[in-house]
Amino acid sequence: MTSAAIWHELECGGYAADLPVWEGLASGGHGGVLELGCGSGRVALHLARRGHEVWAVDAEPTLVGALGSAAAAERLEVQPVCADVRALSLGRDFGLIVAPMQLLQMLGGTGERRAALERSAAHLAPGGRLAASVVERPGGALEGPAVALPDVRERDGWIYSSQPVAVADREDVLEIRRLRQAVSPAGELSESEHVDRLAGLDAAALEAEAAQMGLRAVCRLDVPPADGYLGSVVVVMEAG
């Protein structure tokens, strides 16, 4: 497993607060599920284990490879695809498209987000739904030290640790800072800082942007804060 896959699995793989939301949405749909920004497969594998046909897209080849290996090992019906969600062309429609972990805020500015929305709308069957998670509270309300225990994993004799240490608002961009540490089998310590940046966005703004792509707002589903992760809202939109 590559370094990128190890850190992604460490920092995201154990998060489960949003899984009931995606599972509930998938249980009411037909025509397969497409996950955007799948990473190493936290959501895709969860849904596939419950009998859903899942396609999963990410732009990072090593993460897509890790998902493919995990799905093959469990003989799950998952189709991993390495692609940019802003230029997606899969040649089929889906009953449900999900974008967990604030993916739309991590793409960059409004233009990148709208490109992803347009390509998502193009892959929805009539009546199909797009559900996207956003952190919509103002960054200033979240600013300060992050209070959370580190995520820790052992792999091949190495000990990996990642701890959220601060959240800050930077010109309409929410920054989440983590301290990453790795201890080798020989006991040598290396550390670095990792920063995730989320573009400012709220549910109403996302619904307005999606409406320009022909998507109708249906509902909003809350995901509470848990284990050092920020709370979020899942915005559900429907194709005509």
**At the top level of CATH, which class does the domain 139-198 belong to?**
mainly beta
3-136+201-239 in CATH: which number? Answer: 3.40.50.150
Is the pLDDT at 9 greater than 90? The verdict is no
**pLDDT given at position 228:** 67
| Phi, psi (rounded to 5 degrees) for 204 | -65, -40
CB atoms near residue 34 (< 10 Å): 30
Q: What is the pTM of this model?
A: 0.89
H-run or E-run covering 128:
strand 124-134
Q: And the tokens for 100?
A: 């967990």
Q: What share of the chain has pLDDT > 70, as a percent?
A: 93
Domain with CATH 2.20.25.110 in the chain: 139-198
Residue 13: pLDDT band (50, 70, 90) is confident
199-214 pLDDT, tens digit per residue, is 889 999 999 999 999 9
Residue 140: pLDDT band (50, 70, 90) is very low
Domain with CATH 3.40.50.150 in the chain: 3-136+201-239
